[in-house]
Amino acid sequence: MSKSQARDVSNKHIIDANQLSLEEWLALIENTPSDSIVPDYCFQNESHKQRYLDTIHKRSASDIKKLLFRFLPSDVPIGIDYRSLGDTIRWLREKPKHLDIPFSIKRYLFWGLTKKVNGISIYGGKNTATPRESIYWILDLLEFNPNGALQALNGYFQVYCQMLTDAQIQGIDDCRAIIRTWFEVLSVPENVISNLSPREFECLVYNLFSRMNYDIQLTKKTRDGGKDIIAEKPIKVKGLNL
């Protein structure tokens, strides 16, 4: 279900994604009926996942990022955050004194001690704390450094894996598969790239940027003025095309 749907699940019909085609499911998570809930935290079956990966280069960068956004863990509190707070406090009391408290646990405890109970923060004042960091910023890193985005996501998982639900873990795994497939260069061994001729490397880069929906031009082999590839991509800023 979406992050907004998670706030109110009462009296709503949960749609079984296994009864839908991939395209039907994708359409529904973008336009969910007000009386329904569509699980959208990860692919709902392997068939959907494989079909999406097989057709990923036919999809726009915007649509891919929207799906990644849905699959990435939110910093918004969920049920496990509330249920695990007591166990975390007990661990804190019982842990050996020489052990440092991880920053992620400190943040989680700060959120727990300032969360609202019956609308009132335990320590008073407005509660703006969240139980964990957001990882959405990797979406801005993807097209510049996809390998760095993937490494950041792996690091996030290592830090927070014990605080995530099975569904969130599956969502992260699906994000990894999407990123690896979208940017196929990640799976190409370094020795293969190093053995390419200069022109073959230019063609590889051309194909990669073309699949990321850039308007791209491969210049001639010689006398190109030092320009091997010219790539442009229109962007929108507050409704303006740039």
The verdict on 181 and 84 lying in the same domain is no
- Residues 6 or more apart whose CB falls under 8 angstroms from that of 193 comprise 185, 201, 204
Residues 13 and 61 in one domain: yes
Does residue 167 fall inside a structural domain? Answer: yes
Q: Which residues pair with 215 in a beta bridge?
A: 232
For residue 241, the surrounding DSSP H or E stretch is strand 240-241
| 83's tokens | 């249920």
Q: Are residues 114 and 138 in the same domain?
A: no
Domain membership flag for residue 236: yes
Q: Is residue 213 one of the residues assigned to a domain?
A: yes
User: What 3-state class would DSSP assign to 142?
Assistant: coil
Indicate the residue type of 37.
I
What is the total count of domains within the chain? 3
Identify whether residues 109 and 28 lie together within a single domain: no
202 within a domain of the structure (yes/no): yes
Considering the domain architecture, whether residues 62 and 145 belong to the same structural domain is answered as yes
pLDDT at position 123: 46
Alpha-carbon span 219 to 202, nearest angstrom: 9
Same domain, 47 and 108: no
Any alpha helices (H) in 115-165, and if so which ranges?
Answer: 138-141, 146-160
Amino acid 71: pLDDT:
95
116 is a domain residue:
yes
CA distance 38 to 26: 10
Helix then strand then coil, in percent of the chain rounded to 5, is 50, 10, 40
**Residue 154 and residue 234 share a domain:** no
Residue 156 lies in a domain: yes
Q: Do 12 and 68 reside in the same domain of the chain?
A: yes
- Inter-residue contact 79 to 231 (CB < 8 Å): no
User: Which token pair is 209?
Assistant: 């940027």
Domain boundary among 167, 186, 205: 186
For residue 197, being part of any structural domain is answered with: yes
The tens-digit pLDDT sequence of the chain (242 residues) is 445 444 445 577 888 888 999 999 999 999 888 888 888 999 999 999 999 999 998 888 899 999 999 999 887 766 677 777 777 778 778 878 777 877 777 777 777 776 654 444 444 445 566 777 788 999 998 878 888 899 999 998 988 887 788 888 999 999 999 998 988 744 556 666 677 788 778 787 877 777 667 788 877 766 656 677 888 876 655 555 54
**pLDDT value, residue 242:** 47
- The structure tokens listed for 130 are 């969240």
Domain that holds residue 236: 190-241
Provide the 10 A C-beta neighbour count for residue 18. 11
Residues β-bridged to residue 237: 240
Contact partners, residue 25, CB within 8 Å, separation at least 6:
17, 38, 44, 48
Strands (E), 12-163: 13-14, 36-37, 116-117, 120-121
Q: Are 84 and 90 in contact (CB under 8 A)?
A: no
Same domain, 35 and 70: yes
Compute and round to an integer the Cα radius of gyration of the chain: 22
pLDDT value of residue 203: 80
Give me the residues paired with residue 136 across strands.
Answer: none
Same domain, 39 and 154: yes
27 in a structural domain: yes
- Dihedral pair phi/psi, residue 126, rounded to 5°: -80, 130
Helix (H) or strand (E) holding 229: strand 229-232
